[in-house]
Structure 1
Amino acid sequence: MTTPADELRTAAATLRVHAAAAAEDSGNTTWHTTRHFPDQPNTTYTTVWATDGKPLLRGGGGRGRPHPYVSAPVGDYIAAMDPAVGLALADWLDATAARLQQQAHPDWQDTVEPQALAVARAINGRQP
């Protein structure tokens, strides 16, 4: 039987794998966006960058070729959830699992943080 602590640790491990791979591929753990038309808040001409300046979306612009752009809200969200955030979330999930394991309370529902378990289950592919 899978315990809540197991679910938290599995999600933390998954986050670490994905965050490390994303950081290695992008060259940095922190990301940001550039809105090419800042006066248009929902423009699709927003580029997501690794902090060192490498664009995260591959491809080129120009006639007949796809542009490496996303909508501003999507780009801002991607940048906000960069690998640094993923690693911090993984640490939080592991710390929550450790506290839960130390308590050894027979009724885990009284001791687990419901938000941590909801995050873990979403990462693990379960409905919260």
Structure 2
Amino acid sequence: MFGAHQMLAASHLADGLLSSSPLELVWRGKICSFPSAGLETPRGFTVSPADSYSLLMEVRPGVGGEWACYHDRKSYYWAFVSGKSGDEAGLYAVRRGVAIDGVTGEVEDSLPAAATPVSE
């Protein structure tokens, strides 16, 4: 486990990331109701929110529950956020979610698929 100083350092690092690269909510809701169209692609991105959703479904097939998608200047961040407030959900998405590069579509998954809620 992490010691108190390591947790504090990780928290400050994530807080610094959020303050230096503004995080914006793209969408939040039941993952099964994600809209296939109508969400704006962030400036500078070539990967649309719908494309990032498709990439998420490739690495996390069958997920369920309440998810959120955020973006900063570089990536989308997807995470299971049920029960988390807006700020808490954004921080959790950056720290523990699935990151998808907004230009290349490269996926970085920080959690094993077994740790993700599955739809019923």
TM tier, smaller: 0.3 to 0.5
More contact order relative to length (CA 8 Å, sep ≥ 6): 1
* TM-score of the aligned structures, taking structure 2 as reference length: 0.33
Indicate the structure with greater helix content. Answer: 1
* TM-score of the aligned structures, taking structure 1 as reference length: 0.31
Higher Rg: 1
Indicate the structure with greater strand content. Answer: 2
